[in-house]
A and B are shown apart, each in its own frame.
Chain A
Amino acid sequence: DAMVIQNPRYQVTQFGKPVTLSCSQTLNHNVMYWYQQKSSQAPKLLFHYYDKDFNNEADTPDNFQSRRPNTSFCFLDIRSPGLGDAAMYLCATRLAPYNEQFFGPGTRLTVL
């Protein structure tokens, strides 16, 4: 089945230790999004790629970076995780020009 896959599902890192979260998709969608979702809150958009074009949200901290080496894969890099970065990180995809966004299962990040 075509889907959005996130690895790992659970990630534990130490304060200040760089961490990379992975998203892959078999949908061949041209748009990929990264969201941060804290407990009992709505998903918050960090950035997205439209094909190879990177689009950062104005309030996304510099600590968060992303890479999209090809259509199928997108990575979220957190350069120096703080305790406040503990959250669920969601990847979503969309086939432009259609509106529907499809989410992966998320990676729950714990910062010790």
Chain B
Amino acid sequence: GENVEQHPSTLSVQEGDSAVIKCTYSDSASNYFPWYKQELGKGPQLIIDIRSNVGEKKDQRIAVTLNKTAKHFSLHITETQPEDSAVYFCAASPFTGTASKLTFGTGTRLQVTL
């Protein structure tokens, strides 16, 4: 089955700096890679995703890059703000027909300090 590793487990940055979270996956059949933000006591919120036919995707301050050859993908947050503080999960899914199950990374706790 799929295995997703995520680093770092904790990340502290100053407001305005950039943050980068990296994930690697094992199953070459995976072709969908979402990122979720989870605030304390809440459910995960989908913030950006990328499919295997795309190398990079950007949405305002958030961007995701994918290297299929190396089987890794990364989340980049620029100009960080205190409200970006949360736990971030990457995930991978080998979408095959009707089956689409996410395998999550272990999470990164991002702390943005003033």
Which residues of A are interface residues toward B (Cβ below 8 A)?
A: 4, 6, 31, 40-43, 45, 48, 50, 90, 92, 94, 96-97, 99-106, 108
A contact residues around B95 at 8 Å (CB): 99
Interface residues of B in 18-33 (CB under 8 A from A): 32
Q: Which among B34, B49, B104, B105 has the greatest number of chain A C-beta atoms within 10 A?
A: B104
**Contacts of A92 on B, CB cut-off 8 Å?**
43
| B-to-A contact residues, CB < 8 Å | 32, 34, 36, 41-46, 49, 51, 89, 93, 95, 98, 100-102, 104-107
Cα distance A6–B42 when bound, in Å? 11
When the two chains form their complex, are residues B43 and A101 in contact, meaning their CB atoms are under 8 A apart?
A: no
The majority secondary structure among interface residues of chain B is loop
Task: Tell me, in angstroms, the Cα distance from A94 to B100 when the chains sit together.
Answer: 9
Question: Is A42 within 8 A of B43, CB to CB?
Answer: no
Q: Are B89 and A99 in contact (CB under 8 A)?
A: no
Further pairs besides A40-B107, A45-B101, A105-B43: 17, Cβ < 8 Å: A4-B43, A31-B100, A42-B107, A43-B104, A45-B102, A48-B101, A94-B100, A96-B98, A96-B100, A99-B34, A99-B49, A101-B34, A101-B100, A101-B102, A102-B46, A103-B44, A105-B42
Question: In whole Å, how far is B93's beta carbon from the nearest beta carbon of chain A?
Answer: 6
Rounded to whole Å, the gap between the CB of B73 and the closest CB of chain A is 14
Q: Which of B32, B43, B107 contacts A106 (CB 8 A)?
A: B43
Q: Can you name 15 A-B pairs with beta carbons within 8 Å?
A: A4-B43, A40-B107, A42-B104, A45-B101, A90-B43, A99-B32, A99-B51, A99-B93, A99-B95, A100-B34, A100-B46, A100-B49, A101-B100, A103-B43, A103-B46
Instruction: Using CB atoms, name the residue of chain B closest to A42.
Output: B104
Residues of B within 8 A of A102 (CB): 46
Enumerate chain A residues within 8 angstroms of B46, measured Cβ to Cβ: 100-103
How many Å lie between the Cα of A68 and that of B42 in the bound state?
Answer: 23
Given A104-B43, A106-B42, check contact A42 B105 (CB 8 Å): yes
